[in-house]
Structure formats: C-alpha cells, structure tokens
A and B are shown apart, each in its own frame.
Chain A
Amino acid sequence: MKMVAEFKIHYRQILGEAGEVVAPLPRFAKDSAEVLRMYQAMTMVRVFDTKAVNLQRTGQLGTYPPSLGHEAAHIGVGAAMRPEDVLAPVYREFGTQLWRGVTMTEILTYWGGDERGSDFAVPRQDFAWCVPIATQTLHAAGAAMAFKVRKEPRCALAYIGDGGTSEGAFYEALNLAGSRALPVVFVIVNNGWAISVPVAAQTAAKTLAQKAVAAGIPGVQVDGNDVFAVREVVGEALEAARDGAGPSVIEALTYRLSDHTTADDAGRYRSAEEVKEAWALEPLIRIRRFLIDSGLWDAAKERALLEECTLKVDAAVAEYLAKAKPATDAMFDHLFAALPAHLSEQRLIARHYSSKPGVSKPSGH
C-alpha cells in the first residue's frame, strides 16, 4: 500500500508555564518597551473585563461574554496584526479590539444594547462582533479576496471558537481560502468549552489545527496562554499571507476561566477542580514572571499599573453610563442608504409611542 498523504501538527511555545524561556526569543520580545506594552494591555483588558461583569451583575450592562483567561491569545493577535489589516472577531476578543483602537466605551455601549457601539471610530475597516457562529470566517475570506483582486498588501484575520469549527461555514471558509490562496489567517481560540460542550464531544479530531489539512493549508497549534508564541506564530502567518503564500490556521490553546456569558452557570457542567487547575496556567502569570526576571517589573509598578487601569476603566464606564438612550429614529436611520416612504411613516409612529413629549400623533399604527 502506498502512502499518498500524511500530516504533522506542530505545537509552539516560547514562554513556559513558569515564565521560563523555552525557545529562542523573537525580536519583539527583546524590546522591553514592547513587552511592557503587551503586559499592560493584557492587564487592562483583565481589569476592564472584571468591571464589565460587575456592571452586568448590577443591572447596568446586558449579557456579557467575559474574556478572562484569553488575554495572551487576544493581545498576541492584536500585536501581530498591522493597523491596515482587517479583523473579523467573534464576540469575546476585546483584547485584540482594544489593541487595534476600539474603545472600552464602544464595547460597553454595544453590550449595553446600543448599536452605536459597533460604529468604531478606529479601526473603521474592522467587522463588528459576530454572534451567529462561524459566519465571520467567510467574511474574512471575502475581505481577503477583495485585497487580492485590488492588489492591496493587506490581510484579514478571523477568529473562531472551538465549537465554531463544527459549523459548515468554517469548513467552507477554509476551503475557499485554500483554493484561492487568499491572504487570510484563521485563529481558533480553543478554550475547551462551547458553552457546556467540551471539545472532545465536539469532534473526534486530536487537534483543531489539523482541520486545515483537508483544506490544503498549514495548521499549527500554539500555547494560547503564551503571548510571545501567539504573536510570533500569528505574525509569521500574516506575513506569509501578505507575501502571497496563502492562508493558514492557528489553534491557540487556552481556557475559558469564566462562565460562557453572564447568563451562563458553568458550575452546572464542569468541575471546580478543572477550573482551579486552569488558573495555575493563566496567561498573566508567566509574562509577569518574565518581566520580573528581566528586571523590568516589581510590586510597586504592578500597583501603579492596576491603579492606572482602574482609572481608565472608570472613565470609560462613566462615559458609557452618561450616554442617553438612542432615539427611536435609530431603528430606521441606518436600515437603507435612503429610507423608503413606508418606513418614514413608521418612523413617525415609533416617535409618537416613544413617550417623548412634543411629537404629534401620526395617522395609522
């Protein structure tokens, strides 16, 4: 019998679980300012996340999907992308979005039930949050097709979760990207759980990275709690895509330390021991260890950073809470470039019933 195909999936790690360097440091990791910037961003998103959950618990925010434990994956990706690239997020990758310029106020505005949060001041080209699972992967492939056709040296990057890799759209996106050598990178954030369903119940595949193999594109696994490794691997994939070498798939292994969303109770379906073990591997520990070992960090700096993050988060929260509820016109004004006549009439009806004073009652209902 002759072998016609075989595959190997590599696993990449730079910082070990105790912050020890286990592979050659990439250039960015030798730049202390850059490493500090990544650590500060990871800390910022952790502080933001904690606050957002508290806002939900006190009735000041809608359902919110915490990113607790995903900070290395999200900041690593953000730092690897170029500003002109396009991000197609799922709904949890706040670290990447903050790195790219989305504001905390915008994030809170969206999860507070207001579409204005999706109108990012920066970056204008990024897709908004994508709740229908896996659909965004095809948008990223399409954006990459646009770059290819228009000969722009840009890349698209789509996130997807472990559960999302079961959706047809994900396979279709990989297939399309591979068949057309599109400049797109798919980052699977494998956090172990799709709400209550563990990865082992999702697929018989040993890795999610190997799903790339059937599409004829490279797939690699990376320690998703190691911000250096994530940034390096994603950076390599983006540069290859930019150079015309086509797409790739990166599986970042991490753990969802929180409930799926604030509407979920993970205690119903997973053990406290498992979560406790995962906390020992959480991504801030090892980068902080690396900084301390490099003489770049100490307890006083940590305190100062936490204070600064808290001030920034509090300012964003104040700005969010001060935002008035949108007018009912907001339902209509962005539906079409030009509003059809029957909707202009409905817009008046909505105004009338919105309990705003001074609007006369239109005819009809």
Chain B
Amino acid sequence: MVEAIAMAHGWEMQHDANVVVIGQDVGANGGVFRATAGLQERFGKDRVQDTPLAEATIAGMSVGMATHGLKPVAEIQFMGFLYPALDQIVNHMSRMRNRTRGRLSCPVVIRTPHGGGIHAPEHHSESTETMLCHIPGIRVVCPSSPARAYGLLLAAIRDPDPVMFLEPVRLYRAMRQEVNDDGQALPLDACFVLREGSDVTIVTWGAMTMETLRASAELDKRGIGAEVIDLATLSPIDIETILASVAKTGRLVIVHEAARNVGVGAEIAALVAEHGLYDLQAPIQRVAGFDTIMPLFKLEHDYIPSVQRIIDAVELTFSG
C-alpha cells in the first residue's frame, strides 16, 4: 500500500504544480515508511520539503501555504505525534473557510499512520480517529487497500477542504495489489461494499477490514452471509449505504481498532438507531479496542480485536 501512496503523490504533483509535500524525513529519506520515496529527486527541494522537527509548524505552515495558492500534503510521522498540530487543525485549518465566509480556504491533506500491529515503540500505534471526527469542517479518511489508498488520496488532494488521511500501518506492506497509475480518484464521503451478504452487516475500516473479511469467510462456513462495508470516509459518514444494507440484513456489527468509548462505532450505532431501528432484528454489537491505552507491543494483539471476537459478536446477533 505504501507504494500506492507514493504513486498517488507522484501523479498529482506531476499534474498540479501547486501540490507540495512537507513533513519530517519526507525528502532524502523518502518518509520513515517510504510513502514519499523518490519524490524529492523527481520534484525538487521546493516541492518536497523536510520541515523542522515540529508538528505545530507543519500544520500551521500548511494553513499559510494553502490559503495562498499551494496544496500542501503534509506527513505527520506517527499518529501519536499529531497532538501538537491539533491547535492549528481545530482552531484554524478546519474553520478558515467558515470564519472568512469562504474568502480563504485550506485545501490541505494531513497524512498520518494509523493503528498498531507492527511491533512499533510507544506512541507509535495510536488509533485516535474519534478525536478528529469530532472536529467540524474537516474530512477524515482511512483507506483499506492499495487501490483505495491511491484513489482516495487523489480525491483528498483534489478536495477544496482539509482532509485527515489515516494510513493503517498494518496494511503498508502486508497488502500487495496491482494499482493502475491512471489518476482516477475514488469518491470521498462514500462507503465501499467489500463483500455482499444477506444475513448480517459488518461495518469496519482501515486494517480491521482484514480481520473482518477473515471472520466473514469463517461465518460463511457456518451458513451466515456477512455483508462487509468499508466505511472509508469516517467523517462525514455515508449512512445511506449502511442503512440500505441493514434494511436487507437486519443485523449490524461494527468493528474498529480504536477504543470503544465514544468511538466512531457509537456514531454509526446512533445513526442506525435513529433511522433504521425497525429494520433491526437484534441489538447492534460493537467489537472495538478496549478503553485502555494502546499497550506496548507484547500485548498489542490482545488489544486489537481478533477474528474470533468478530465471529462471536456476529453469533450473538443470532442468539436473541
């Protein structure tokens, strides 16, 4: 997936001279995950810049650059390092258009790794998308395959508003897939149905699509057909696709790696309760990370929901 991300950068920089890449180690080093590999050689040091080691700098300068003609694609090296940038994201980036009545705007993409599962050090395995989804005025996107990373990143860069682009680290190298470098964007604000089924709807995103698809294959053997929906854009939520699926299946399980408490799963559950309650044949189930701090890696796979937890949650919707 990491090559698809580098490829999307390359396409858009080739076709739009205003796209610039900034971040820590994005230049000669090509990014610590190699997501910007080769870009500085190709597009030069003005368009691919290593910033000083300061996340508030990265977000704040993105606001300045974006309001004055550029389209910054900024990398925050790990999600745990995003927080110094939040002041700029919450107080400026997300509301520049609104507070100037459309006079100034922030076409910025902030990319950051998401989630755990790769034996990384402390603060390197966070999945705190909920905090971002709560900020009005920004989109939050999380791809679940190389092709979707390519198409959604292009869409994010072309979008006139700020987009937080969360890249599941477990997928960077785990998932390989041929991706056409054809400049075709995928739609934002839309779910992707990864697998059709008529018995239960499972909504998930990012790396948890892997466990969910594995669980679905196992559920097939037990005669349960799961429809798997990749949320893809976490905010705003494409609730229509989910409601249509729930109308068909009558059951909903939501799977995410992030902590359960006030997670994006809670929002989906609330929307389905508001608009699709009478389609449900069983209570909604959530399978999520525990409401604890993401542990160091010895326990990370005890934190990240397992295939078995997903299967058990689906079975619970049939046990009523």
Contact = CB atoms under 8 A, between A and B. Distances in A.
Interface of A: 62-63, 91, 110-115, 129, 131-133, 163-164, 166-169, 194-197, 201-203, 261, 263-264, 268-269, 325-326, 328, 330-332, 335, 342-343, 346, 349-350, 353-354, 365
A166 B84 CA distance: 12
Given A131-B123, A196-B29, 13 more contacts: A114-B296, A115-B296, A131-B124, A133-B53, A166-B53, A169-B84, A269-B28, A325-B298, A326-B299, A328-B302, A350-B303, A365-B309, A365-B313
A201 B50 contact: yes
Interface string B138-154: 00000000000000000
Contact of B25 (A168, A197, A328): A197
Contact of A325 (B27, B84, B123, B299): B299
Interface stretch (B105-113, B185-193, B237-245, B283-291): B283-291
Contacts of B28: 196, 268-269
14 contacts: A62-B121, A113-B119, A113-B296, A167-B56, A168-B84, A195-B25, A196-B25, A196-B29, A197-B25, A326-B298, A328-B299, A346-B260, A353-B302, A365-B309
B32 A195 contact: yes
A155 to B, nearest CB: 26
Of B121, B124, B290, B293, chain A has the most CB atoms within 10 Å of the CB of B121
Interface in B53-90: 53-57, 80-81, 83-84
B290 A331 contact: yes
A268 B285 contact: no
A343 B24 contact: no
Given A163-B53, A365-B313, A132 B81 contact: yes
Contacts of A269: 28-29
Interface string B287-320: 1001111011111101100101100110010000
B266 interface: no
Nearest to B261: A342
A159 to B, nearest CB: 15
Contacts of A164: 53
B54 A166 contact: yes
A132 B312 contact: no
A167 B29 contact: no
A132 B120 contact: no
A331 B303 contact: yes
A131 B83 CA distance: 13
B30 interface: yes
Bin the interface of chain B by size: 35 or more
B122 interface: yes
A273 B27 CA distance: 21
Contacts of A202: 52-53
A167 B292 contact: no
A330 B300 CA distance: 11
B52 A166 contact: yes
Contacts of B300: 113
A105 to B, nearest CB: 15
B203 to A, nearest CB: 15
Give 7 closest A-B pairs by Cβ, nearest first.
Answer: A113-B297, A196-B29, A166-B52, A163-B53, A113-B298, A269-B28, A113-B296
A299 to B, nearest CB: 39
Contact of B290 (A91, A114, A263, A332): A332
Given A114-B296, A325-B299, A353 B308 contact: yes
B316 A365 contact: yes
B25 A365 contact: no
Contacts of A335: 292-293
Nearest to A112: B298
B212 to A, nearest CB: 14
B302 A63 contact: no
B315 to A, nearest CB: 10
Contacts of B57: 166
B298 A197 contact: no
Contacts of A325: 298-299
Contacts of A365: 285-287, 309, 312-313, 316
Contacts of A196: 25, 27-29, 50
Contacts of B306: 353
B29 A195 contact: yes
Nearest to B308: A353
Contacts of B119: 62-63, 113
Given A63-B119, A268-B30, A269-B29, A353 B309 contact: yes
Contact of B296 (A110, A166, A168, A194): A110
B290 A111 contact: no
B263 to A, nearest CB: 13
Given A166-B54, A168-B54, A202-B53, A331 B295 contact: yes
A330 B296 CA distance: 10
A326 B27 CA distance: 39
